Each structure stands twice: as structure tokens, then as C-alpha cells.
Amino acid sequence: MTRVGVNGYGTIGKRVADAVAAQPDMELVGVTKTSPDYGAEAALRRGYDLYAALDDRVAAFEDAGLDLAGTLADLLDAVDVIVDCAPSGVGERNRPTYEAHDTPAIYQGGEDAAIADASFNARASAPIRNADSLRVVSCNTTALSRLLAPLDESYGVEKARVTLVRRGGDPSETNRGPINDVVPDPATVPSHHGPDVNTILGDVDVDTAALKAPVTGMHTHSVNVTLEAKPTTEEVRELLRGETRIFLIPEDAGIDGAGTLKDYASDLGRARGDLWENCVWEESIRVQGRDLYLFQNVHQEADVVPENVDAVRALAGDVSREESVARTNETLGVGIDSLLSDGGAPRDQVAADD
């Protein structure tokens, strides 16, 4: 039984906490908050022990009437692994504290790769040995790694070129923009996302260009991969259909964007309408010569959550990667098998002239 704490019960932290609490081989010891807000209240309602992330905030929780189990230092002394879900950059500030308590730590992808012994993705990163800290790569890097790993294994990736149309902020972030523009961000091309993929897949040549759009639901990737082999469109569809953390959106399901995708997730009974899988538009998958094209949507609040669970097991070191992924998928319900007929052969084989 691995005892786990979550430092930072925000967008990612609350989801990681729920996912950890659902694992039979893990115990969620507690979560931290900096402020006694609605999220802190919700943690208590869920029965999670609440710790003050900062010592000087204890009185604020008391004033608000929310009971604390202690402070971050108490939590660190009680756990085998701490999952840092603080905002980008705050993980770096937290690192000396974790090290002073000799507590193995998992960081998020907003931190520099140098923060941890290794960067992590359950599908694609190299085996982890003797690490005291891991960094789960960002939502975008996670999605790209899941996609490029099977393509590289099966066909060889000569070069990947990806445009990331990123959401401006999360649904709960009213202080983010843009509200009416599409902003090159960064305007320098290629963006940092390609090199970040290389912290997972060292040998894959990938360039990325990143934009921000006035949406909060999901990121959208427009992907081109020049392959070394020449598979058919249907072969690529079948390859990706076989990946448990990739969901091929059926062509005639009536799912046309992030809104309907998340509505479908709620229809499936998923808490928070979360989509842990890369969501690839089935009809967008198309091979022309050696060039593969596709669109995929990425739920920025959710796709790293199963990866964090697997990262905890990678640090604890007592089960294989495959066994961990299977357990995580089973307990959370990762993977969607649509009941809708797949429509048979792809359209380019049925009506090549249309």
C-alpha cells in the first residue's frame, strides 16, 4: 500500500486525488490547499484530510470554519510519495521542502525537465530505475507521446509536424485570455513542445507550432507525420484503435467538438466529464503517400491524471509498467469502446473520387 499526498488541490490535484483514492494499492493520506475556498470545502466533503500548503495560512482555514489535519510538513512526513500539483513554477519552489523531508516527489509538466530524475509517460517513456522524482509531462506532450510512440514503433516516424491550437484557460479561470483572438503563443516556431516530446521519445523528430484560442474545453492538435513506411489509412486507424488511451471518435456519432465530446463523457457517467484519452477524429485520419494527417482533441484537465497514477507506481517500483497501466485503466475506466458500428471501410476506399 503506497501512501500518497497531493500538494495543491486544484484542477489537476483534485483529479489526481480522486484517481489515487480509487486505487486498491494506494492510500490517499491527504491534500493541501493555500486558501479555504470552495475547493477546500469540497475536499472535506469527499472525506479527504486537508492540510495547509503554507504555514501562515492556518488561521485563514480556522476563520472559515474548515478543519485542518496539519500543514504540508505533516503531510510529507506521513506519505511515501508526494504528487506536486502546484501551479507551474511553484513545484520548483517546493522541491527543497520535499528533499528536506526525504519524500519522493512527482512533478507536473509545467516545471522544467531538470526538476526530476526523469520525465514520464506510461506509454512511451524509457523504463524508470532508481528514481527519487519524476515529472509527468504536460497534457500536450502526453498526448503527442501517446500518438507518436505507436506510429514510430509500427511505421517509423521520419518527421512529425504539429500545430497545437491550445485552449486559452480552464473553465474555472476567468482571468485568462484571449477572449476574441487566436494568438501565436509562443510566436517563435518551433515551440518548446517538440523538444518536450523528446524528453519522452528521444529519437523522434517533431516540430510544433502553438497557438491559443478563445476556448476553455480542450486543446486541438492538427497533426502531420511523415512516416518511413506506407501504411493504408485503415491500417493506421486500426493501430490507433488498439491503443487504450486513444479514443477514435466514431464518424457518425454526432460528436463535432469539445462540447459534444465532454457531453459524451458525462453521458458515459464520468465524473467532471473527464476525457483521459487522446480523442482522435476517426474520419480525420488519412494517409496520402507517406504523409499521415489527423486531428486530435486533448482534455487539458484530465489526460495526465492516469499518467500520475502510473508515475506513483513507477516511483514505488513494485509492479511493471504494463501491470500499472492495466490497473489504472481498470479502476478509473480509461478506454472507450463505442457501441456504434464503425461504418466499415474508410471513405477514401469507398469513394475515392469524392
In the bound state with its own copies, the residue whose beta carbon lies nearer, of 315 and 336, is 336
Q: How far is the CB of 176 from its own copies (least distance, A)?
A: 10
Q: What angle do CA 46, 11, 93 make, to 5 degrees?
A: 110
- DSSP secondary structure string for all residues of 39-98: HHHHHHHTT--EEESSGGGHHHHHHHT----EEHHHHHHH-SEEEE-PSTTHHHHHHHHH
Distances from the Cα of 250 to the Cα of 104, 179, 275, 281, 337, angstroms: 41, 31, 15, 7, 10
For 72, the grid coordinates are: 504540508
Q: Does 39 interact with its own copies (rule: CB under 8 A)?
A: yes
Helix intervals (H) in the chain: 11-21, 38-45, 58-64, 72-78, 90-100, 139-155, 193-197, 233-241, 258-267, 305-316, 321-332, 347-350
- What is the identity of the amino acid at 254? G
Q: Annotated binding residue at 139?
A: yes
Q: How far is the CB of 31 from its own copies (least distance, A)?
A: 12
Tell me if 341 contacts its own copies by CB under 8 A: yes
CB atoms within 10 A of CB 234: 15
198 is an annotated ligand-binding site residue: no
| Using rule CB under 8 A, residue 180 touches its own copies | yes
3 state SS of 270: coil
Q: State the minimum distance, in angstroms, from the CB of residue 245 to its own copies.
A: 20
- Choice from 158, 170, 234, 291 touching its own copies (CB under 8 A): 170
Q: Tell whether 12 is in a known binding site.
A: yes
Q: Amino acid letter at 65?
A: G
Peptide bond connecting 87 to the previous residue in cis, omega within 30 degrees of 0: no
- The nearer residue to its own copies, 50 or 311, going by C-beta atoms, is 50
- Please say if 139 is a catalytic residue: yes
Contacts with its own copies in 285-324 (CB under 8 A)? none
Verify binding: residue 340, its own copies, rule CB under 8 A: yes
Q: How many residues does the chain have?
A: 354
Of 184, 187, 168, nearest in space to 176 by CA: 168
Q: Which amino acid is at 136?
A: V
C-alpha cell belonging to residue 263:
457531453
Helices 321-332 and 11-21, interaxial angle, to 10°? 100
Task: Mark the segment that binds its own copies (CB under 8 A) among 83-91, 98-106, 313-321, 332-340.
Answer: 332-340
Residue 169 marked as a ligand binder: no
At its nearest, how many Å lie between its own copies and the CB of residue 191?
26
Residue 47 makes contact with its own copies by CB under 8 A = no
Q: In the set 56, 63, 203, 322, which binds its own copies (CB under 8 A)?
A: 63
Return the residues of window 94-113 that contact its own copies according to CB under 8 A: none
320 marked ligand binding residue: no
> 301-328 b/e with 16+ CB inside 10 Å = b?
bbbbbbbbbbbbbbbbeeeeeeebbebb
DSSP 253: S
Q: Does 174 help bind its own copies (rule: CB under 8 A)?
A: yes
Cβ at position 65, least distance to its own copies in Å: 4
From the list 19, 52, 68, 139, the catalytic residue is 139
Q: Interface with its own copies includes 173 (CB under 8 A)?
A: yes
Q: How many residues of this chain interact with its own copies, rule: CB under 8 A?
A: 46
177: amino acid identity, one letter:
G
Is residue 163 at the binding interface for its own copies, with CB under 8 A as the rule?
Answer: no
* Residue 349 marked as a ligand binder: no
Least CB distance from residue 339 to its own copies, whole Å? 5
> According to CB under 8 A, which residues from 240 to 279 bind its own copies?
250, 252-257, 259-260, 262-264, 266-269, 271-273
Report, as residue numbers or ranges, the catalytic residues: 139
Annotation: binding site for NAD(+): 11-12, 110, 167, 300
Binding site for its own copies (CB under 8 A): 14, 35-39, 41-42, 44-46, 63-66, 170-174, 180, 216-217, 250, 252-257, 259-260, 262-264, 266-269, 271-273, 338-341
Annotation: binding site: 11-12, 110, 138-140, 167, 193-194, 300
